[in-house]
Amino acid sequence: MFEYSRMFIISLLLGFLARAFMLRIDYRQFPSYPHSYAIHLTLGAIAAALGALVIPVLLEKEFIAVTFITIAAQQFREVRSMERESLAKIEKTELIPRGEAYIEGIAKLFEARNYLALISSFATSLFYYYFGWPVAIIGGSISAYILHWFMKGPTVGDIAEVQLADITFKGKNIGIDEVIMMNVGEEEALEVWAKEGIGIKIIPKDEDARATLANLGQRQAILHDLAILMGVKLDQGLQHFSPLARLDIDNGTLNIIFIPQEPDELFIKEAVERIPVLESSQRKPLKDRIGRKAAD
């Protein structure tokens, strides 16, 4: 019993630390501090405890307890609903909304991270049973790192080439090259766009990337993150200063115009490149024979 207790404590701590490591505030200021921290750390501890209990329960042949553990783990689905509802309620307070696809991606991410804590804790207890506590700590840490690395998805810079472009003016219309983005009726607003506006071209590397960038949810996510990272000169009621994304339907290039608060072109390019590609927006037409033939 003492051996099981030590196995449980070590596995619990490592699973909890794995969850805590992934719970950090980034530029999106999410999760919020301290309330969301308390919620997610508590759920992470519960997930780690469930993972740590699997091996002792199996060794004692308490198979009914395994059923209860499975039922408890299913409750983590509620985490996704909680995050989705929370973000959807505050969506209308955003000048540049995240969009439903981005919200769903965040909700899935926080559900999956609890499972990661559970798996890390389970792996630690498995290593402990076969090799002892020193190997358990090392093996569990490596398992947590590999799982965390595996969960990292591609960024815009991985699927496309990002270039800064000049904004073109044709009468009251503004855009990039031949793509018209917006009609601005006020001369004062046109002067602001001419003086401070930045144009961006996101050129897909292949047909998969082209299909991904065409997704409306992915476009909205890019605009939202770009506004957070570089700031945007916009307020409620100033629609003629809203950042916009339009697709060049001939070559699949995504064109963006916005007026940043921080007009450093080098960092604007880097900011776009590091924006994540949403899981729900990823398309793989080249994985299919017909898609490959069409691309050729």
* Boundary-marking domain end, from 93, 121, 150: 150
Domain count, the chain: 2
| 27-47 pLDDT, tens digit each | 555 666 667 788 888 888 989
177 and 134, same structural domain? no
For 131-146, give one letter per residue: b (16+ CB within 10 A) or e: eebeebbebbbebbee
Query: How is 109-127 classified by DSSP, letter by letter?
Result: HHHHHHHHHHHHHHHHHHH
* Boundary-marking domain end, from 96, 128, 150: 150
pLDDT(3) > 70? no
Residue 285, C-beta contacts closer than 8 angstroms, at least 6 positions apart: 207, 208, 211, 291, 294, 295
Distances (CA, A) of 154 to 27, 81, 145, 281: 18, 25, 17, 11
Residue 135 belongs to what domain range? Answer: 2-150
* Boundary-marking domain end, from 150, 176, 210: 150
Lowest mean pLDDT among 122-126, 266-270, 272-276, 284-288: 284-288
257 and 194, same structural domain? yes
136 and 8, same structural domain? yes
Length of the chain: 296
288 and 243, same structural domain? yes
Average pLDDT over residues 172-200: 88
231 and 200, same structural domain? yes
Are the CB atoms for 226 and 244 separated by under 8 Å? no
190 and 76, same structural domain? no
| 215-267 pLDDT, tens digit each | 999 999 999 999 988 888 888 777 788 899 999 988 899 999 999 988 888 89
pTM beyond 0.75: the answer is: yes
Q: Rounded CA gap, 252 and 170, in Å?
A: 22
120 and 213, same structural domain? no
| 80-116 pLDDT, tens digit each | 888 888 888 888 888 888 889 998 888 888 888 888 8
248 and 133, same structural domain? no
Q: Rounded CA gap, 47 and 54, in Å?
A: 11
SS (H, E, C) 196-249: HCEEEEEEECCHHHHHHHCCHHHHHHHHHHHHHHHCCCCCCCCHHHCCEEEECC
Which residues in the chain belong to E strands, given as ranges? 160-165, 168-170, 173-176, 179-183, 198-204, 244-247, 254-258
pLDDT at 165: 92
| 8-18 pLDDT, tens digit each | 899 999 999 98
pLDDT(211) > 60? yes
160 and 127, same structural domain? no
pLDDT(293) > 70? no
Q: Rounded CA gap, 275 and 278, in Å?
A: 9
202 and 283, same structural domain? yes
173 and 46, same structural domain? no
275 and 144, same structural domain? no
Mean pLDDT score of the chain? 85
